[in-house]
Amino acid sequence: MVGALVFMSPAVREKIPTIFETINIPVEKQPEPTKPEPQKQHRQAATENIIPVKPPIAEPTTGFRVPDIPIPPTGSILGPIADPAPPPPLPHVPVFKGSQVDPRYAGTLQPPYPPGKIRSGEEGVVVVRVLVGPDGRVKDVQKVEAADEVFFRATAEQAMKRWRFTPATSDGTPVESWRTMTVRFKLDT
């Protein structure tokens, strides 16, 4: 408190006396506790077990008492351990199945051989990408590789008119998809 008074405003500090008088207060001495006289113990037979009994612990006089805390049956101070939270669900990945050639139209895949190429005896290979619609029909044809432009035109015309597919599906629903097809033009000799 004295420190707080020292740092107070100057008006208050002027009223604080600078001389302090100390008074010694005599402390009464407590009488030393007397030791109880040891009582004579009677010896019991050696066959009996002697268990010393501790005196009960006196309640504190301050009025403060530690509350009883129940111990959980699991033996853990924190209580039972809860199951960990389940992991978040994985995002749904749709099941995709690509388009396939419809077996009913397998005989219509080979385009007619261009007559000019038959006369010249030329053979060739054409690789195309076709866009198969949800109805199984070809919607677009793109050239990937062609031995000759005439072979590509014959293949594209046949694909748009006659090729049929079972469409690709995403979770069972028909969808558009691209498919690469190879057509060989070979003369029988």
Q: Which position has the higher pLDDT, 110 or 74?
A: 110
Measure the CA–CA gap between 161 and 174, rounded to whole angstroms.
Answer: 21
- Please write the tens of the pLDDT for every residue from 142-185: 999 998 999 999 999 999 999 999 999 999 999 999 999 999 99
pTM of the model: 0.51
Residues 6+ positions from 97 with CB-CB distance below 8 Å: 168, 169
Q: So what's the pLDDT on residue 74?
A: 55
Q: What is the CATH number of the domain that holds 115?
A: 3.30.2420.10
Q: So what's the pLDDT on residue 156?
A: 96
Domain assignment present for 150 = yes
Domain assignment present for 152 = yes
Domain assignment present for 164 = yes
Domain assignment present for 73 = no
Q: Which position has the higher pLDDT, 53 or 171?
A: 171
Q: So what's the pLDDT on residue 56?
A: 62
- Please write the tens of the pLDDT for every residue from 103-134: 999 889 999 999 999 999 999 999 999 999 99
Mean pLDDT, residues 29-33 taken together: 64
Cβ proximity of 147 and 161 under 8 Å = no
Q: So what's the pLDDT on residue 177?
A: 95
What tokens appear for 150 in the block? 């005439």
Number of domains in the chain: 1
Domain assignment present for 29 = no
Q: So what's the pLDDT on residue 68?
A: 75
Percent of the chain with pLDDT over 90: 43
Q: What is the 3-state secondary structure (H, E, C) of the chain?
A: CHHHHHCCCHHHHHCCCCCCCCCCCCCCCCCCCCCCCCCCCCCCCCCCCCCCCCCCCCCCCCCCCCCCCCCCCCCCCCCCCCCCCCCCCCCCCCCEECCEECHHHHHHCCCCCCHHHHHHCCCEEEEEEEEECCCCEEEEEEEEEECCHHHHHHHHHHHHHHCEEECEEECCEEECEEEEEEEEECCCC
Domain span at residue 165? 96-185
Q: Round the average pLDDT of the chain to a whole number and report it.
A: 78
